[in-house]
């Protein structure tokens, strides 16, 4: 059976997207923009309700984009999983976190696969977008889908197409980032190309799901390893009394053979802190330790502790101890100008400071509240950032360099700043008040 046999002479395929989070929602909007009919499915009833009202629940996606999509009449969101049977393509955008021992947790993928198998129709295309280790699509997802009684590659089509979302990126969007697709069969590749060409400008086809799966993890491992390298250099430069940011600026003047990466307080988000562990777990099945990748993970995981050590030293230099000091964290999101706190190093820094006896608050214009920390049962909320409030703290730590912060104003009204992002570079008064970490 050909995928095009399902299209009923329609110009655009219909798409069901399971999971309307940071990956699924922007993808759904691009399919609508491309003229497709979209059924958005999420187990959280709040998301379909808000979309139906034309309201956004992600800070980097304006409500006007959602409202405009709803006005076209081409998107409908629901919690009813059976609605997927009416679509030509089913795209799975569910989380793939790590377990307690940092092993891959595929429970969301497995459970969603079982849901899809109950409603799978002949000729449909099923695409997994969730980042995972090579072999997941073929070895884990396909057998579950075939519980429907249909045969993958014959009765329906299966592909893997890794998400490449970068929330808050003003340069690259869902539509302009090239889309990798790797299917079980050439017919599946053709189907995936046809579908995604409605939502993205460029579709890049590879020979198999495994190539696409490993390509995504390679992208993020590349970043994790290089960030670990510059984080280690930062710690060495700190001991030497050298400014690592100036070193990076100097090295960047070389027009070849060098790509700048920048240090920070640790890795955050769903991809870079997590994906390399999926690869190392899979590598162990082949009897191969991935020492380079695992070392990078150790270095990046240790960065919040390094930041706390700089805070401790800076307070000591001012005859103060961490115990009893009032500390304000600026930025709780894992990256600038978004509201995503997954794996944020800010929370790790907060927990370590609380454990040392500090009084810790935070301000983040994008994150109004956070869940309980390990060290306290209170649920912290973002404090108002005013001249009077800022001056009350013994130390402010810049964890997330949101573009809306007035850093000169922050320097003017703070007694001590620990800057993990070089946000205060070149500002008046920074030499006396700012310590880089």
pLDDT at residue 272 in the model: 79
Average pLDDT over residues 385-408: 96
Average pLDDT of the chain is 94
* Distance of alpha carbon 70 from alpha carbon 78, whole angstroms: 13
Stated length of the chain = 437
Note the pLDDT tens digit of each residue in 202-253. 999 999 999 999 999 999 999 999 999 999 999 999 999 999 999 999 999 9
| Residue ranges of domains in the chain, CATH in brackets | 3-207 (3.40.50.720), 229-436 (3.40.50.720)
Residue 371 has pLDDT above 90, yes or no: no
271 assigned to active site: yes
Q: Which of 77, 93, 271, 395 is catalytic?
A: 271
Given this model, what pLDDT does residue 48 score? 97
Average pLDDT over residues 314-340: 96
Say how far apart CA 424 and CA 426 lie, in whole Å. 6
**Residue 149: alpha-carbon gap to chain centroid:** 35
pLDDT digit string (tens) for 154-178? 999 999 999 998 887 888 999 999 9
The predicted structure's pLDDT at residue 9: 56
β-pair partners for 330: 363, 398
């Amino acid at each position: 059976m050909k995928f095009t046999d399902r299209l009923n002479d329609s110009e655009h395929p219909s798409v069901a997207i399971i999971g309307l989070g940071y990956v699924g929602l922007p993808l759904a909007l691009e399919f609508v923009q491309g003229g497709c009919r979209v059924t958005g499915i999420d187990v959280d009833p709040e998301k379909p309700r808000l979309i139906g009202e034309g309201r956004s629940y992600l800070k980097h996606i304006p409500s006007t984009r959602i409202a405009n999509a709803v006005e076209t009449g081409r998107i409908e969101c629901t919690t009813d999983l059976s609605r997927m049977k009416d679509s030509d393509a089913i795209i799975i955008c569910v989380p793939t976190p790590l377990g307690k021992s940092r092993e891959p947790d595929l429970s969301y993928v497995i459970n969603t696969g079982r849901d899809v198998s109950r409603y799978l129709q002949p000729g449909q295309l099923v695409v997994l977008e969730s980042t995972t280790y090579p072999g997941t699509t073929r070895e884990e997802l396909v057998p579950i889908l075939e519980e429907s009684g249909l045969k993958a590659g014959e009765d329906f089509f299966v592909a893997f197409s890794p998400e490449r979302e970068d929330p808050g990126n003003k340069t690259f969007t869902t539509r302009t980032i090239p889309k990798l697709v790797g299917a079980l069969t050439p017919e599946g590749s053709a189907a995936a190309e046809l579908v995604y060409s409605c939502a993205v400008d460029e579709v890049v086809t590879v020979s198999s799901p495994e190539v696409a799966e490993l390509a995504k993890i390679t992208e993020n491992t590349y970043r994790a390893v290089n960030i670990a390298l510059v984080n280690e250099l930062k710690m060495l430069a700190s001991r030497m009394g050298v400014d690592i940011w100036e070193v990076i600026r100097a090295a960047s003047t070389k027009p070849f053979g060098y790509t700048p990466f920048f240090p920070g307080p640790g890795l955050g988000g769903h991809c870079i802190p997590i994906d390399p562990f999926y690869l190392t777990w899979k590598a162990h099945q082949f009897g191969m330790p991935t020492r380079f990748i695992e070392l990078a993970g150790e270095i990046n995981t240790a960065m919040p502790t390094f930041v706390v050590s700089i805070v401790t030293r800076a307070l000591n230099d001012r005859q103060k101890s961490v115990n009893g000091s009032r500390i304000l964290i600026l930025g709780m999101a894992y990256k600038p100008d978004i509201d995503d706190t997954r794996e944020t190093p800010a929370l790790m820094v907060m927990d370590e400071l609380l454990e040392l006896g500090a009084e810790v608050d935070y301000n983040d214009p994008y994150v109004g509240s956070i869940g309980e920390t390990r060290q306290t049962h209170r649920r912290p909320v973002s404090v108002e950032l005013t001249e009077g409030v800022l001056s009350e703290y013994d130390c402010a730590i810049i964890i997330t360099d949101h573009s809306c912060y007035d850093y000169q104003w922050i320097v003017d009204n703070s007694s001590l700043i620990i800057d993990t992002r070089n946000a205060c570079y070149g500002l008046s008064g920074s030499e006396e008040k700012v310590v880089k970490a």
